[in-house]
Amino acid sequence: MLTPWLGYVKPLLLTSPTQISVPGPSPIDSAEYATDYLEVKQYGAKTGSLRTQLQTENALFWNDNVVRQYQIGARDAATRHGLDILESARFFAVLNMGAADSIIGCWRAKVESSYWRPSTAIRTLDDGNPATEPDPAWEPLVPNPPYPDYVSGHACLTGASVTAFADTFGPTSLDLNLVSLVPGAGPARHYDSAAQLDTDTMNGRIWLGIHFRKAMTDGNALGHKVSQYGLDHFFQPSD
């Protein structure tokens, strides 16, 4: 696992990496696991997938460095909206301190769960769940990152970042322009809705074949909670 120490770094805002907990991955013998398994097996495969062309473009768009994507988008939005030095400082503090703490909490969950990626699960001949059907030749659309599935770092970073965007510009008026440098990702995207940004990013990582749905939803929720904690305890008016 890459950088396991990250899960033990002292957070900037939280009291500890485990202050905001996650429920944990689905038991492998559960119906919920089987549902997630089938989804990523069908839509995340490198070949023979049920993905549409638009779904493939969405997946590839979100295979870029998401920190860079959000930083570029944030700088653009702050400039276009004329945020002054104080407003800009607060915006980037909320954005980046929340993102930092969310990834610390995320990596701690990865260390403690050590949950397998879809490719390992789908290739396993007998996982003990009668509702799953293995495929030893299955491959994800892109190679797996070198750390466990649960929870998704991309989802944690997105949840925290979306909370910062929504706090600054409004949950239905983000006015966020985002680009991806990944070949095949399609043109730049514009987001006004926080909910749509959450949805597209979660779907994208599943359609890449590298995450189960629960890793995305739980990671996204963790990011939102971490950033909201920061807003509630550190970024309120001082008078």
| Position 239 confidence tier, pLDDT thresholds 50, 70, 90 | confident
pLDDT at site 237: 84
User: What's the DSSP call for residue 16?
Assistant: S
| Position 238 confidence tier, pLDDT thresholds 50, 70, 90 | confident
Predicted confidence (pLDDT) per residue in 64-76, tens digit: 999 999 999 999 9
| 142/132 Cα distance (integer angstroms) | 22
Please state the rounded mean pLDDT for residues 44-65. Answer: 98
If DSSP codes are grouped into helix, strand and coil, which group holds residue 85?
helix
| Position 218 confidence tier, pLDDT thresholds 50, 70, 90 | very high
Tokens of 136: 């030893």
Predicted confidence (pLDDT) per residue in 125-155, tens digit: 999 999 999 999 999 999 999 999 999 999 9
3-state helix, strand, coil in the chain (%, to 5): 55, 5, 40
What domains, with CATH codes, occur in the chain?
A: 30-234 (1.10.606.10)
| 155/140 Cα distance (integer angstroms) | 18
Residue 100, pLDDT above cutoff 90: yes
Predicted confidence (pLDDT) per residue in 197-216, tens digit: 999 999 999 999 999 999 99
Please list, in sequence order, all residues whose beta carbon lies within 8 angstroms of the beta carbon of residue 46, skipping any fewer than 6 positions away.
139, 140, 141, 209
Contact 200, 62 (CB under 8 A): yes
Task: Spell out the long-range contacts of 82-87 with Cβ–Cβ below 8 A and sequence spacing 24 or more.
Answer: 83/168, 87/168
211 CB-contact burial (10 Å; exposed 0-12 / middle 13-18 / buried 19+): buried
Prediction pTM value: 0.97
